Structure 1
């Protein structure tokens, strides 16, 4: 069975996130990784993003990176499983080490609640 083709809009969203990803520094990529692991294992891992947002001081404006993460979350939640897999595949083409680290992180949570 052929996988569903992803929509043009989703494809553009994914390209946008990948373009941001390439501009992020290592700590930002690490935070994105934690967020990605949290999305891969909902309810199993308290994501760094969640714990940070509860501590966030509301009087300062969010920086560009935080805005990008918010948009990424909105988009990710609207994607189907096939589209999410497609995104991971595209990310792997850009940064295989990052995606390998992601899979290790997900595997490392197995059996932990």
Structure 2
């Protein structure tokens, strides 16, 4: 008997569409930073993400820029999503940018065997 996955909630779908919209407007450097963040979420403990390293600096002499705020929201949303919802997001991202997602998967594969 085939079990159908739980449908994605409307709120989650809107969050995912929002992140994808931001992604479309990000520069190559911002997308690379997002890739590192996504990689850190996919294989926690195997990579030290740039975002983690920057957050430990605690530099508070300026306000965060829009991209940094977007990454913070993205993290909050991602942490609230279940596995099916996370997979759905990757599928939607792959439809938008298959090269980016392919790079992500090869980066995940590159972490195999690391402590």
With the shorter chain as reference, the TM-score category is over 0.9
Q: CA separation in 2, counterparts of 1:83 and 1:57?
A: 33
Q: How many residues align?
A: 113
Q: CA separation in 2, counterparts of 1:72 and 1:39?
A: 11
- The aligned residue for residue 50 of structure 1 is 52
**SS at 1:60 equivalent:** coil
**Match runs of 1:1-113 below 5 Å:** 1-113=3-115
Runs of 4+ in 1 over 4 A off after TM superposition: none
Query: CA offset at residue 5 of structure 1?
Result: 0.3
Q: CA separation in 1, counterparts of 2:107 and 2:45?
A: 15
**Cα offsets for 1:18-38 (capped at 9, x unmatched):** 000000000000000000000
Query: CA offset at residue 42 of structure 1?
Result: 1.2
TM, length-normalised to structure 1: 0.97
Contiguous gaps of at least 5 residues in structure 1: none
Query: CA offset at residue 12 of structure 1?
Result: 0.1
CA RMSD after TM alignment: 0.7
Query: CA offset at residue 56 of structure 1?
Result: 4.2
Query: CA offset at residue 55 of structure 1?
Result: 2.0
Contiguous gaps of at least 5 residues in structure 2: none
